[in-house]
Amino acid sequence: MSPPNPNPPGPVMQLLARGLQLWVRQHCQSIDSLEIQLEGSPLQLLRGRLAGVRLLARRVVYAQFQLDLVELRSGPIQVHIGNLLQGQPLQLEQDVQIQGQVSFTPDGLTRSLAEPRWRALGDSLGETLLGIVPLGGVRIHHDKLVLTALGLGRPELIELDTTVAAVGGSVEVQAVDGSPSYRLPMDANIRINEARLEAGMLQLLGEARVRG
């Protein structure tokens, strides 16, 4: 008698991928495009155990913040495959460690900082670095993040060239003359390891823990 075929049927893998896609979309306001690649042996996939997941998403709105590009890779994941087979939503059995990169366009940053949820952050940036509230917006010029605002009674924009860097697991925005600087408040589950301005976007590389 030959041993059973360890390769799971295609529908099981598709079910896992669809479940993960739905789980990601449910945690975002919108996603234009989403690609997910499962990693692991066929037997692991059949048991709902994944060695990891690769994710590529474009034009994402998460927590009212606009991300132009998201590239992530997770550590091992355990999911309730039985629930999926019964048509229930995907559930993670434990926290998952992820690492990767997110990229923001200047227009996306400006619109995000104007949202009610993030307006206080934009005001803090404007007050600390420009001495003006509210912050008008941001743009990128070569390797500088330029903050803009309208001064009281002045028709022209006030601009300040700044640099960005990863400091203490967060992002520090600093005027090019060395002062002042502003370190962004950061969720305890997120750590930024590198911040850079490249290809006309703000790119943040780091890691995070996703709650199961």
pLDDT in tens, 10-62: 677 788 888 899 989 999 999 999 999 999 887 887 788 889 999 999 999 99
Q: How many C-beta atoms surround the C-beta of residue 95 within 10 A? A: 12
Name 9's Cβ contacts closer than 8 Å, sequence gap at least 6: none
**Mean pLDDT value of segment 123-145:** 94
Confidence (pLDDT) at 212: 65
State percent of the chain over pLDDT 90. Answer: 67
Across the range 140-161, mean pLDDT stands at 88
Q: Give the angle 28-114-125 at the CA atoms, nearest 5°.
A: 110
Residue 48 and residue 24: Cα distance in Å, rounded?
17
Rounded to two decimals, the pTM is: 0.88
Taking alpha carbons only, the member of 87, 94, 91, 75 closest to residue 15 is 87
Q: What is the DSSP letter of 156?
A: S
Average pLDDT of the chain? 89
- pLDDT-derived band of residue 136, with 50, 70 and 90 as boundaries? very high
Query: 15 near 85, Cβ under 8 Å?
Result: yes
Largest CA distance in the chain: 88
Whether 52 and 27 have beta carbons less than 8 Å apart is answered as no
The CA–CA distances, whole Å, from 176 to 67, 129, 165, 181 equal 25, 11, 12, 9
Please give the pLDDT value at position 70.
98
- pLDDT at residue number 92: 80
Phi, psi values for residue 43, rounded to 5°: -65, -40
State the average pLDDT over residues 172-176.
96
Q: Phi and psi of 48, rounded to 5°? A: 80, 20
Instruction: Check residue 153 and give its pLDDT.
Output: 67
